[in-house]
Chains A and B, each alone.
Chain A
Amino acid sequence: MSFDSILTLGQTALELGLISSLTVLALFLSYSMLNVCDLSTDGCFTLGAVVGASVALSGHPFLAIPAAMAIGMVSGFVTALLQTKMGIDSLLAGIIVNTALYSVNIGIMNGASLLNLNNSDTVFTKMRSVLENTPLAGQYKLIVIIITVVLVAVVLGLFLRTRLGLAIRATGNNPDMVRSSSINPVKTTIIGLCISNAFTALSGCLLAQSQKSVSIDIGTGMVTVALASLLIGGAFFGKGKIPLRIFGMVVGAFVFRLVYTIALRFNLPAFMLKFVSSVIVILAISGPYLKKQLPYLKRRFGKERTHA
């Protein structure tokens, strides 16, 4: 393999990793901060992609971004409402919304399960024409993605320092304490899920515009892929302060993509992506648990063997 092709592979991994890092940041807010495992992530990612593509198709690639984020917020609002005001368990609320979104997404695509953006402008083609004849022309995709990720990461970092951000963090950490600070944990959960779903939808929107097509299963398994990235990122920078942890999330998303890209080079079939991400999530969550059990397991089974 030539050096050039390695570079191209690395760049593709970086692009895709950074796009999915937006979903990882969304889960960082809902899963790590609010302590809610938001299973509507898959549907919301697709929703963002579908809405983003539709608006871009109608000739407004830039409008597609706020549109996708706004619709993601609505989806997050519904998920949050189900679990805070209507007595539905938070996991179930996510699954229900996810199922409903399947119909919504196909509805937005006018009954089709595929949209093609080959002949329409995207934020990426706009950037390409801006950068034409400059040394950066080849990196137009990466530049758009980096700008977006940096913006989102900085906004998220600043937001988590505000009183509202602190209240959201405390909601996942100790809801009793939030209530005794005269803050309604229902409100913080709703706001947190709205913001995180806006990020998820943005992530989907960028992927759709970058690959110039959307299919209804573009978001399938996204929650597991993002969780895997989140846990990888947490392994690197899980203990530090919030800005460092946010940086860790982005690194985690890239590392996951990189590992996956390398695995593909070793003839791992592409359809194995989701299997690999599931295994990573299983290992990352069960690993620390099993490690804790190890001394007891050793005592229990080790001793019997020595007696025998």
Chain B
Amino acid sequence: MLKLTHISKTFNPGTVNAKKAIEDLSFHAAKGDFITVIGANGAGKSTLFNAISGSFFTDSGKIELDGKDITFMPEYKRARSIGRLFQDPMRGSAPGMTIEENLALAAGHGGWLSSISRKDRQAFRERLSLLGMGLEDRMTQPVGLLSGGQRQALTLMMATYNPPKLLLLDEHTAALDPATAEKVLEITKNTVEENHLTCMMITHNMQSALELGNRTIMMNAGKIILDVIGEERAHMTVADLLDRFKQAAGKALDNDRMLLSEAE
């Protein structure tokens, strides 16, 4: 499904601030994989997502999605097959426009000069009611009036309205309060299952990294240092994960945020 071959990216090359964000990384995700991604700050997790979704072109290597070479495809074209959510709930929707207007853009039905039809509204309403947030009765309100959790749930719905080939979730529940985060995560799981999506999710919660999905990768210094799946992963505990990090990275994981969330 997704195939990365020897991709590298250096920011500010040739300056004192040069940073190798991704180094000779190769990776293959199978169709239907739900992969959780963990790693310390600056390990290159978000950079990896940026490379996949096309926020920048990589310095070298090849990116293929579903057998198609997308290495130099612009971001907006990739968005047809790659859905993405960010940590910031404000990033995925236009605050000055109404819920139905946002959805109409995400749905992308009809010609450029067509406007929202009654049928569209009905479809939006049905989908929104599945979120259980009462948004179906607020379709003509500007999105800027919604809470962070509501906006993130709406963004998720927009990103998966036309099921993408690949869904990238970049700590999309980290900015939400625990109860809302739980709810958004629940909606995420259901959406991924129902549409059989291939999905990659960055998380700082190692427990949920092992519980969610079928595969876990750990990144450090721009490389994937751990990739577990199946039987091996099923028996893994957070302590094992930390051990494996130490083995692979040659030092103990010193990320307060990850360790704290482990203690939760």
Using a CB–CB cutoff of 8 Å, the interface residues on chain A facing chain B are: 158, 161-164, 166-167, 169-170, 173-174, 176-185
Contacts and interface: CB of A to CB of B under 8 A. Distances in A.
Contacts of A167: 105
B102 A180 contact: no
Interface in B75-117: 75-77, 79-80, 83-84, 91-97, 101-102, 104-106, 108, 110-116
B98 to A, nearest CB: 9
Interface residues of B, number: 30
B80 A174 contact: no
Contacts of A164: 112-113
Contacts of B93: 174, 177
A173 B108 CA distance: 18
Contact of B105 (A158, A166, A176): A166
Contacts of A184: 74, 76
Contact of A180 (B83, B110, B115): B83
A181 B106 contact: yes
Contact of A169 (B84, B91, B94): B94
B80 A162 contact: no
Given A163-B111, A170-B97, A182 B91 contact: no
* 8 A-B pairs with the lowest CB-CB distances in the bound complex, closest first: A173-B94, A164-B112, A174-B94, A179-B76, A170-B94, A182-B80, A161-B115, A182-B79
A178 B75 CA distance: 11
Given A179-B76, A181-B79, A163 B105 contact: yes
A264 B108 CA distance: 52
- Label chain A's interface by main secondary structure: helix
23 contacts: A161-B115, A163-B104, A163-B105, A163-B110, A163-B111, A164-B113, A166-B104, A167-B105, A169-B94, A169-B97, A170-B101, A173-B97, A174-B94, A176-B91, A176-B92, A177-B93, A177-B102, A178-B105, A180-B159, A181-B108, A182-B108, A183-B108, A184-B76
B96 A173 contact: yes
A187 to B, nearest CB: 9
A36 to B, nearest CB: 15
A268 to B, nearest CB: 37
A183 to B, nearest CB: 6
B76 A185 contact: yes
B105 A181 contact: yes
A174 B91 contact: yes
Interface in B191-245: none
Contact of A177 (B91, B115, B116): B91
Nearest to A158: B115
B79 A179 contact: yes
B114 A163 contact: yes
A170 B105 contact: yes
A158 B113 CA distance: 9
Contacts of B159: 180
A161 to B, nearest CB: 4
Contact of B76 (A161, A163, A183): A183
Contacts of A169: 94, 96-97, 101
B116 A161 contact: yes
A183 B107 CA distance: 11
Given A182-B76, A185-B76, A177 B112 contact: no
